[in-house]
Structure 1
Amino acid sequence: MIDVQRLRVLRAVADHGSFSRAAAALRLTPSAVSQHVAVLERSLGAQVVTRSTRGVSLTPAGRIMVGAAESVAAELEQARQQVERLHTGRVQLTVATFTSGGRHLLPGALPRFMAAHPHTLLHVREGEPEDTLPLLRQGAVDLALAYHFDGPLPVGPGPGSSLRWTALLEDPLYAVLPEEHRLAGRESLDLAELAAEPWVLGCLKTEAYLRRYAARAGFAPDVRATTTDYFFARSLVAAGMGVSLIPSLALAPAVPGLRAVPVGPPAPSRHIGVATIDRRRDRPHVTSFIEALLEQAAPTA
């Protein structure tokens, strides 16, 4: 029989990439973590991690077991919530969201949902998709507002087949320029027209995306500033640091002295949706919240 604690240890190793960091997170010693993994490997008759000087990575068998570990954790969390519901008589729903998507969608969706389910105990957690989607798979949240660019969803380690994606809206990226810029009065522009400009970025994931689009346009962007906040990035553009590429939902609140110009095709865009777990999709409160999000997103879809 596979020990649940050893699955928990393996999941921590996958999340942190080393025995020592996993040990710190679990409040164990690195040797105890190593022993748990070794016993798990013996019980399976297969290697679950590959050890190297650069850290620890999962083998194919390890990825299967991390997926199983997340499923077990999710089932235990759901059972805990059901027991709590028996005790309190209240349903709990936890929604994860990234900042600009939550700011745009939740203020309209929350009243719709609460009008239909006034006794639900609702929690909201903020975070980027690479952080919240693993929480969804582990059962720590019930739904996750998330986005991706032209690549796959950042589902984290382990199989992602249990995730179900409901598309909500497209969020085009705009070229953000100082209002005195020579192209600021254009109705649209090609990314290649900004090839000689210095760039300011408001999200590390946007940098990789910009570089791919710039390569298609035949140039390598000269990145002068990187931030993790779109408002700060726009403030730097207004201060003359360069130009930026900003999703439309992150253009509010307005920063004086800027113009946002649409980018011509192939137009870069964020794909925004809500992720759920297949086995929890049938819960009425989850379905109702998705419907509220779809209603809120419909006018801008």
Structure 2
Amino acid sequence: MIDVQRLRVLRAVAEHGSFNKAAAALLLTPSAVSQHVAVLERSLGAQVVARSTRGVTLTQAGRIMVQAAESVTAELAHAQQQVDRLGTGHTQLTVATFTSGGRLLLPGALARLTAAHPDTVLHVREGEPEASLPLVRQGAVDLALAYHFDGPLPGQVSQNSSMQWTALLKDPLRVVLPEGHRLADRAALDITELAAEPWVLGCLKTEAYLRRYAERAGFEPEIRGTTTDYFFARSLVAAGMGISLIPSIALAPHVPGVHTVPIKEPAPTRHIGVATISRRRDHPRLATLIKALQEQAAAVESASISGPAQRP
């Protein structure tokens, strides 16, 4: 019989890419981690990791077992919730969300959920996708409202994953300029037209994204400021520090002294969606919440919020 603890160790090895880092995360010694993996391999009759001087990678058998580990962990967490419900008569639901998406989409969706299932006890945790998606895999949260930029879906959300991604909304990024800027009256801008501009950005991931786009356009952006808050970044733009690149849904509330211009296609875009454990997606409360989020996202698109920071 496969030991659940050894599956937990293998999952940590897969997450951290080495026995040493997995050992530190699990508060074990590297030799104990290595022994757990070796015993798991003997019990399976198959190699689950490939060892090299650069670390360890999963074999096909290892990937299968990590997926099983994620499912087992999530199911045990769900079972604990069911046991807890026996004593309270309530069902608990935990949702993780990033800030701007949660502010726009989550309140209305949660209101619909509680109207349909008034016995639900809700918990909300704020976090970026790199923090919230592992919590879904571990069963610590039931649903994560998350995003990814152009390219593949967030880490480990794939056909071979225990998680399922449901797309909700495309969120194009806009250029935010100070009022009176020479480009403020343009209907749309090409990224190459911004090569000489200084930038202030409200997110480190946005900075990395801008650098990739700028590299394709042949220039190195001058970054004069970075924050973790899009509202603050727009305030710095209004103060004349530079221009910014802001997701559309983060352009409210309006900041006086700024003007927003779309970027010409192909425009940089965030893709917003929800991640859930595949086998739990049809749970009545989760299904209700996902449908409510889809309706909220459709309402956002129909309201055409793509330019909320234009001159009032």
Q: Same fold judged by TM-score > 0.5?
A: yes
For the residue of structure 2 that corresponds to 1:300, the secondary structure is: helix
Q: Alpha-carbon deviation of 1:159? A: 6.1
**Is the aligned partner of 1:153 residue 2:153?**
yes
Counterpart position of 2:117: 117
**Where do 1:1-301 residues align within 5 Å?**
1-52=1-52, 54-156=54-156, 160-301=160-301
Percent identity of paired positions between Structure 1 and Structure 2: 77
Tell me the amino acid that sits aligned with residue 100 of structure 1: S
Tell me the amino acid that sits aligned with residue 125 of structure 2: R
For the residue of structure 2 that corresponds to 1:102, the secondary structure is: helix
Q: Alpha-carbon deviation of 1:97? A: 0.8
Q: Alpha-carbon deviation of 1:253? A: 3.5
Q: Structure 1 residues 34, 229: CA separation in 2 closer, same or farther (over 3 Å shift)?
A: farther
Moved more, 195-204 or 232-241: 232-241
Q: Do the aligned partners of 1:63 and 1:157 also contact (CA within 8 Å) in 2?
A: no
Q: Alpha-carbon deviation of 1:82? A: 1.8
Q: Structure 1 residues 257, 243: CA separation in 2 closer, same or farther (over 3 Å shift)?
A: same
Moved more, 128-137 or 170-179: 128-137
Separation (CA, whole Å) in 2 of partners of 1:275 and 1:266: 26
Tell me the amino acid that sits aligned with residue 292 of structure 1: A
- 1:244-268: CA deviation from partner (whole Å, max 9, x where unpaired): 2110111234444322211122222
For the residue of structure 2 that corresponds to 1:7, the secondary structure is: helix
Q: Alpha-carbon deviation of 1:120? A: 0.4
Q: Do the aligned partners of 1:113 and 1:288 also contact (CA within 8 Å) in 2?
A: yes
Q: Alpha-carbon deviation of 1:189? A: 1.7
Separation (CA, whole Å) in 1 of partners of 2:246 and 2:142: 29
Q: Do the aligned partners of 1:67 and 1:158 also contact (CA within 8 Å) in 2?
A: no
Moved more, 119-128 or 15-24: 15-24
Moved more, 288-297 or 12-21: 12-21
Separation (CA, whole Å) in 1 of partners of 2:18 and 2:239: 42
Q: Structure 1 residues 113, 46: CA separation in 2 closer, same or farther (over 3 Å shift)?
A: same
Separation (CA, whole Å) in 2 of partners of 1:17 and 1:252: 40
Q: Which ranges of structure 1 fall in alignment gaps of 5 or more residues? A: none
For the residue of structure 2 that corresponds to 1:46, the secondary structure is: coil
RMSD of aligned residue pairs (Cα, Å): 2.4
Aligned residue pair count: 301
Q: Alpha-carbon deviation of 1:34? A: 2.1
Q: Which ranges of structure 2 fall in alignment gaps of 5 or more residues? A: 302-312
For the residue of structure 2 that corresponds to 1:6, the secondary structure is: helix
For the residue of structure 2 that corresponds to 1:73, the secondary structure is: helix
Q: Do the aligned partners of 1:198 and 1:221 also contact (CA within 8 Å) in 2?
A: yes
Q: Structure 1 residues 251, 124: CA separation in 2 closer, same or farther (over 3 Å shift)?
A: same
Q: Alpha-carbon deviation of 1:99? A: 0.8
Q: Do the aligned partners of 1:77 and 1:139 also contact (CA within 8 Å) in 2?
A: yes
Separation (CA, whole Å) in 1 of partners of 2:71 and 2:88: 25
Tell me the amino acid that sits aligned with residue 38 of structure 2: A
Separation (CA, whole Å) in 2 of partners of 1:160 and 1:271: 21
Q: Do the aligned partners of 2:157 and 2:165 also contact (CA within 8 Å) in 1?
A: no
Separation (CA, whole Å) in 1 of partners of 2:173 and 2:158: 31
Tell me the amino acid that sits aligned with residue 76 of structure 1: L
- 1:33-59: CA deviation from partner (whole Å, max 9, x where unpaired): 222122222323333334455544333
Q: Alpha-carbon deviation of 1:138? A: 2.3
